[in-house]
Amino acid sequence: MALVRRDWPDLQDLVQRWFEGDVDKSWLRVEEFTEDDTLVVRVELPDIDPDKDVEIAIDGGDLTIRAQRQAKSEHKDKDGYRSEFRYGSFYRTVKLPSGATADDVTATYRDGVLEIRVPVAAQVAAPAAKIPVTRG
């Protein structure tokens, strides 16, 4: 298993967020690693409904995860009323390795963690060949 750790999103993603005025918003925390011939991407997404709040897409060698959170709580008692809310939209783009395809991609959500598995076709190395040198 190879672990790929990225503390910051790639430069292209950062520049795009800066031009969109979105650089200060929260990032999705992502963990990437390969397991056999599969890229595994785990995303920390607590307190969301994956059926309606998450969108996953593969386009042009990029895996894009978009999520939206809306939570509101109210507390009423004889002494007063208290209301809290949290909301926001988040997205993250992960570059896929060569050989990755959208075929057979799976996504599961458990205990606040979204896990995406992307099969990566094994790279076939060109057979070794000896190149003869001729005198000219």
Chain-centroid distance of CA 108 in Å reads 13
- Residue 48: pLDDT band with limits 50, 70, 90: confident
User: CB under 8 Å to 8, separation ≥6 — which residues?
Assistant: 14
The predicted pLDDT at position 123 comes to 65
The predicted pLDDT at position 29 comes to 84
The predicted pLDDT at position 135 comes to 82
Q: Where are the domains of the chain?
A: 2-119
The predicted pLDDT at position 39 comes to 93
Query: What is the spatial distance between Cα 20 and Cα 54, in angstroms, rounded to a whole number?
Result: 21
User: CB under 8 Å to 42, separation ≥6 — which residues?
Assistant: 30, 31, 32, 113, 114, 115, 116
Full-prediction pTM beyond 0.85?
no
Max mean pLDDT among 70-74, 85-89, 107-111 falls in: 107-111
Is the domain defined by 2-119 classed in CATH 2.60.40.790?
yes
